[in-house]
């Protein structure tokens, strides 16, 4: 979760504008929180197929998180009703799981959070289910590349703007729209801490990246326009032109000046290989 919403509505949840840098001990707890989410996404990957409902995936995720002595991180946060945000096709993020079965050709963003020993893990993967159009598969590929590009910029001495600049450049070079209204965020004892981590921006701008920074980087990239709107449920964000949107998210810590990815797609990839 939730990519941070750039609006006054959520400003009150920010930690007084201060970045909370983490000790090595805290980062180790956060790594476990992130890995619980990674394994949960692996369970979702095993189950996801044509005909499965988002609510079934949500139950799998909730049960698994609780089995790991962790707490679902999204459930009840800002009154969100479920464990997973499941956002299909033109839905960008914050989709509420429903009883509508997943169809052949859908892309399904699954965003998951867990709290372990008081710290949050928060990461997301967009699944291609069945026969997805090549142009949409390419969107997924490029969005994942954007995430890797953003991670590579997360090193001491760089600035937060460097992350967004290079993500935006890669996405726009491919003709895609970069969502402006939602951004990545600092992560720790709360889900949304400073700094905001936009997927767009200017090189050399923004706060300096320092040892102990922990952030969730989460490009949300649209096949068409960057513009988005809310659905009537006041949660789900959809693209304004109805074209698909992809979303990948990792938790990253700055350790010895370099980015260390606390979460992993390893469990998802293993599960998908077996299919």
Tell me whether residue 192 or residue 243 sits nearer to Mg ion (CB atom). 192
Question: What sign results for the dihedral spanned by CA atoms 194, 199, 204, 210?
Answer: positive
With H, G, I as helix, E, B as strand and everything else as coil, classify residue 254.
strand
Choices 26-34, 62-70, 155-163, 216-224; region in contact with Mg ion by CB under 5 A: 216-224
Burial environment of residue 232 by CB neighbours within 10 A (0 to 12, 13 to 18, 19 or more) = exposed
Any contact of residue 216 with Mg ion (CB under 5 A)? Answer: yes
d(C-alpha 31, C-alpha 14), whole Å: 22
Choices 15-23, 50-58, 70-78, 245-253; region in contact with Mg ion by CB under 5 A: 245-253
Q: How, if at all, do strands 177-178 and 193-197 pair?
A: unpaired
Write out the DSSP string of 94-146.
-PPP-SSPP-TT-EEEEEEEEEETTEEEEEEEEEE-SS--HHHHHHHHHHHHH
Task: Record the tokens describing residue 147, joined without a space.
Answer: 């995430």
From candidates 111, 162, 181, 251, binder to Mg ion by CB under 5 A: 111
Tell me whether residue 93 or residue 149 sits nearer to Mg ion (CB atom). 93
Choices 9-17, 136-144, 212-220, 261-269; region in contact with Mg ion by CB under 5 A: 212-220
d(C-alpha 263, C-alpha 164), whole Å: 20
From candidates 61, 92, 115, 124, binder to Mg ion by CB under 5 A: 124
Q: How far is CA 172 from CA 85, 91, 177, 200, in A?
A: 26, 20, 6, 10
Size of the site for Mg ion (CB under 5 A): 6
- Interface map 165-204 toward Mg ion (x if CB under 5 A): ----------------------------------------
Tell me whether residue 30 or residue 124 sits nearer to Mg ion (CB atom). 124
With H, G, I as helix, E, B as strand and everything else as coil, classify residue 271.
helix
Tell me whether residue 111 or residue 193 sits nearer to Mg ion (CB atom). 111
Any contact of residue 249 with Mg ion (CB under 5 A)? Answer: yes
Any contact of residue 1 with Mg ion (CB under 5 A)? Answer: yes
Choices 167-175, 195-203, 211-219, 233-241; region in contact with Mg ion by CB under 5 A: 211-219
Residue 169 CB, shortest distance to Mg ion, in Å, is 22
Write out the DSSP string of 35-89.
HHHHHHHHHHHHH--TT--HHHHHHHHHHHHHHTT-EESSTTGGG--SSEEEEET
Any contact of residue 92 with Mg ion (CB under 5 A)? Answer: no
Residue 274 CB, shortest distance to Mg ion, in Å, is 25
Choices 15-23, 42-50, 127-135, 244-252; region in contact with Mg ion by CB under 5 A: 244-252
**Contacting positions for Mg ion (CB under 5 A):** 1, 111, 122, 124, 216, 249
């Amino acid at each position: 979760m939730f990519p941070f919403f750039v609006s006054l509505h959520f400003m009150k949840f920010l930690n007084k504008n201060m970045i909370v840098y983490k000790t090595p001990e805290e980062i180790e707890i956060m790594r476990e929180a992130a890995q619980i989410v990674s394994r949960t996404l692996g369970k979702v990957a095993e189950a996801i197929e044509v005909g499965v409902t988002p609510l079934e995936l949500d139950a799998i995720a909730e049960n698994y998180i609780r089995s790991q002595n962790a707490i679902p991180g999204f459930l009840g946060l800002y009154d969100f009703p479920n464990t997973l945000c499941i956002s299909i096709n033109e839905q960008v993020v914050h989709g509420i799981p429903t009883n509508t079965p997943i169809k052949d050709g859908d892309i399904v963003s699954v965003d998951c959070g867990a709290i372990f020993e008081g710290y949050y893990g928060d990461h997301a993967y967009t699944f291609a289910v069945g026969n997805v159009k090549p142009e949409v598969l390419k969107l997924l590929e490029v969005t994942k590349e954007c995430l890797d590009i953003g991670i590579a910029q997360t090193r001491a001495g760089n600035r937060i703007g460097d992350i967004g600049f290079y993500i935006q450049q890669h996405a726009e070079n491919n003709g895609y729209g970069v969502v402006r209204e939602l951004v990545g965020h600092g992560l720790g004892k709360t889900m949304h801490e400073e700094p905001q981590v936009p997927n767009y921006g200017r090189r050399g701008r923004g706060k300096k990246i320092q040892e102990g920074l922990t952030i969730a980087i989460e490009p949300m990239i649209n096949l068409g326009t960057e513009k988005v709107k809310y659905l009537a449920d006041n949660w789900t964000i959809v693209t304004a032109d109805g074209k698909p949107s992809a979303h990948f998210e990792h938790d990253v810590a700055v350790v010895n000046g370099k980015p260390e990815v606390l979460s992993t797609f390893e469990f998802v990839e293993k599960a998908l290989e077996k299919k």
